Amino acid sequence: MSLTEVVAGLLASFILTALLTGLIRFYALRRGLLDAPGARSSHSVPTPRGGGLAVAIVALGWILLHWLSDVGVSDLSGASNLVVVYVVAALVAAVGFWDDHGHVLSGVRLFVHLLAGVILVALLPRFQITFLNLDIGSGTFGFIVLTLVVAWYINLFNFMDGIDGIAAFEAMFVFGGYAWLAYWFGAPQLVSSALCVLASVAGFALWNFPRARIFMGDVGSGFLGTLIMGFLFVLSGIEKNLFWAGLLLSGVFIVDATLTLLHRLCRGEALYKAHRTHAYQYAARRYHSHALVTLALMAINLLWLLPMAWVAATGLLSGWVVLLIGYAPLVLLAAVFHAGRAERA
């Protein structure tokens, strides 16, 4: 695709997603697909859910058109790595769409998320993950670890979608970072696709920030969580340091969700039970503002995690060392805002 076609495609993605989100909101209101406020939610009025379906539809349409324009209709059997990623993301999104319309058993969701991890690890080219001069991404051990990483990330992205705009802005930041890294490390085929996801999420964000008129829902969080991991694997196949850089881009979500999970495990709480004990949720209640917390997290992303990701990507320091440095203040912030601490009665 030419530059003009790419720019036109991004603008179209933004506009189409914004329009589709409005239609899905109308559909959700008619069907009664509402998230009602409760003691364990961070909103105060019933709000329609499932708006992330618009992002999935537009992003899938983009990759289909992009693929056909590149490989030609006669070469449909030669699926690219990105097509594999999008197909797996569509599978997860389908289960999320089902869940947004009713209740899917937690075991079914977990199975699908693990299956997504297995497919991505099995079908995408393997890559090195160097830690203390060891490649922990190879062999059976690496297969299991990467599968669990995918399943955990899909879930944590859903867990972190709890206040207005936070998941949308995080996705825009991550895919913007992916596009930047792909450009500098010679992977132009990833740049336009990453920017398309960014543009699509921006179209949805018009309805989700600063005040949410519709939520992303499981269909959106599952789709984006899977895409983020799939893109990370493809990038890592180009340059091994990009694995650590990608984990740094998602640092705010990874640290908050993981520390919250560990605290709840230590208390013996059921992990599938709804709660609002993430650090970002405590912060939103402390400052009585979803928008303030979302924008503060984006400032951390841009001013701290993006430079750290660049240091890791360029190999100035070992990737895992940069990860520890980058995550250290995030752990401190999560502790300050009581990530995972049980709410007082």
The DSSP code sequence of 68-115 is HHHH-GGGTTS--HHHHHHHHHHHHHHHHHHHHHS---HHHHHHHHHH
Tell me the two tokens of residue 43.
């909103």
**pLDDT given for residue 1 in this prediction:** 61
Q: Say if strands 130-131 and 34-35 run parallel, antiparallel, or are unpaired.
A: unpaired
Residues 6+ apart with CB under 8 A from 255: 327, 330, 331, 334
Q: Is the peptide bond before 46 cis (omega within 30 degrees of 0)?
A: no
303 alpha-carbon distance from chain centroid: 20
Distances (CA, A) of 162 to 46, 69, 107, 241, 316: 14, 38, 22, 31, 36
Tell me the two tokens of residue 155.
């879930």
DSSP three-state, residue 35: strand
Distances (CA, A) of 327 to 260, 281, 331: 15, 19, 6
Distance (Å, whole) CA 19 – CA 140: 45
**pLDDT given for residue 70 in this prediction:** 61
Count other C-beta atoms under 10 Å from residue 163's C-beta.
Answer: 25
DSSP three-state, residue 39: coil
Contact between 244 and 322 under an 8 Å Cβ cutoff? The reply is yes
Count other C-beta atoms under 10 Å from residue 146's C-beta.
Answer: 25
Positive or negative CA dihedral for 298, 300, 302, 305? negative
Tell me the two tokens of residue 222.
């599952």
Distance (Å, whole) CA 179 – CA 21: 24
Tell me the two tokens of residue 110.
């977990």
Query: Which H or E run includes 134?
Result: strand 134-135
In tens digits, the chain (345 residues) has pLDDT values of 677 878 888 999 999 999 999 999 999 999 999 988 875 678 878 999 999 999 999 999 988 887 766 654 444 333 489 999 999 999 999 999 999 998 899 899 999 999 999 999 999 999 999 898 889 888 999 999 999 999 999 999 999 999 999 999 999 999 999 999 999 998 887 999 999 999 999 999 999 999 999 999 999 999 999 999 999 999 999 998 999 999 999 999 999 999 999 999 998 887 777 889 999 999 999 999 999 999 999 999 999 999 999 999 999 999 999 999 999 999 999 999 999 998 875
Helix, strand counts (H, E) of the chain: 14, 4
Which residue's structure tokens are 């060891």?
A: 134
**pLDDT given for residue 337 in this prediction:** 96
Distance (Å, whole) CA 115 – CA 147: 8
Tell me the two tokens of residue 230.
């799939």
Nearest CA to 25 out of 62, 53, 1 is that of 53
DSSP summary character for residue 125: P
Distance (Å, whole) CA 172 – CA 191: 13
pTM for the model stands at: 0.95
Distance (Å, whole) CA 146 – CA 229: 10
Distance (Å, whole) CA 62 – CA 330: 35
